[in-house]
């Protein structure tokens, strides 16, 4: 009986403390803006000239981005494995690669995944041929890279444009790396490519 009374007393005390905590007179901000409670963070997220937000950088660099990502320029990147590796050689460690280079690489990854024209059903069109060259360049760059960021960057691109035939090479990049993040990402990419078949 004594244990039951102590249990009930403890429950009432916990309930009273919770009621006191949850009934504090904190009034929510009345606003139609769902982000209203987070407005205090906006100054920290503001763009600055030396470190602009991605959206601001894209707006400022729109002409350069459009000039570097034309079909002709993207096709030229994957014309040969050497030209593809030349672009990938410009990827440096974390936060040190030129954003225009990263944008162009992402555009190439998207470009090689585009469907070719209907009349290319008998042979590979420019996108399919480009994909083959691009994937080989990504694999070679990832294998040769000393920096784990470069390996991870290439694996992230392979997540989108890799093929089932590349799974063993992707897993090998993970096995040969001493970095857990590279190993884990290589397994994740390989698993995704297996599911995509």
Read off the CATH number of the domain in which 97 is found.
Answer: 1.25.10
d(CA 178, CA 98): 27
Within a domain: 182:
yes
Q: What HEC string does 80-114 produce?
A: CHHHHHHHHCCCCCCCCCCHHHHHHHHHHHHHCCC
- State the residue range of the domain holding 71: 54-196
Q: Quick check: is 93 in a domain?
A: yes
Instruction: Indicate whether 98 belongs to any domain.
Output: yes
**Is 12 a member of any domain?**
no
Section 55-59 average pLDDT:
87
pLDDT at 15 over 50: no
Mean pLDDT, range 107-121, rounded to an integer? 85
Domain count, the chain: 1
Please compute the mean of the pLDDT values over residues 9-15 and round it to a whole number: 46
Task: Confirm whether 184 is domain-assigned.
Answer: yes
What does the pLDDT average to over 132-154? 97
The pTM score is 0.74
Please indicate, yes or no, if residue 82 is contained in any of the structural domains: yes
The pLDDT > 90 percentage for the chain reads 60
């Amino acid at each position: 009986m004594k244990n039951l009374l102590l249990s009930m007393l403890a429950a009432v005390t916990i309930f009273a403390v919770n009621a006191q905590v949850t009934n504090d007179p904190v009034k929510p901000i009345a606003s139609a803006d769902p982000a209203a409670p987070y407005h205090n963070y906006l100054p920290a997220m503001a763009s600055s000239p030396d470190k602009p937000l991605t959206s601001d950088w894209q707006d400022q660099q729109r002409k350069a981005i459009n000039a570097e990502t034309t079909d002709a320029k993207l096709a030229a990147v994957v014309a040969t494995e050497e030209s593809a590796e030349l672009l990938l050689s410009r990827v440096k460690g974390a936060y040190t690669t030129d954003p225009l280079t990263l944008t162009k690489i992402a555009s190439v990854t998207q470009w090689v995944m585009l469907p070719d024209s209907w009349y290319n059903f008998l042979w590979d069109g420019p996108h399919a041929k480009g994909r083959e060259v691009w994937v080989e360049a990504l694999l070679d760059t990832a294998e040769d890279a000393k920096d784990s960021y470069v390996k991870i960057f290439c694996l992230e691109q392979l997540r989108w444009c890799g093929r089932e035939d590349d799974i063993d090479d992707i897993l090998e990049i993970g096995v040969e790396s001493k970095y857990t993040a590279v190993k884990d990402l290589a397994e994740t990419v390989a698993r995704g490519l297996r599911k995509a078949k």
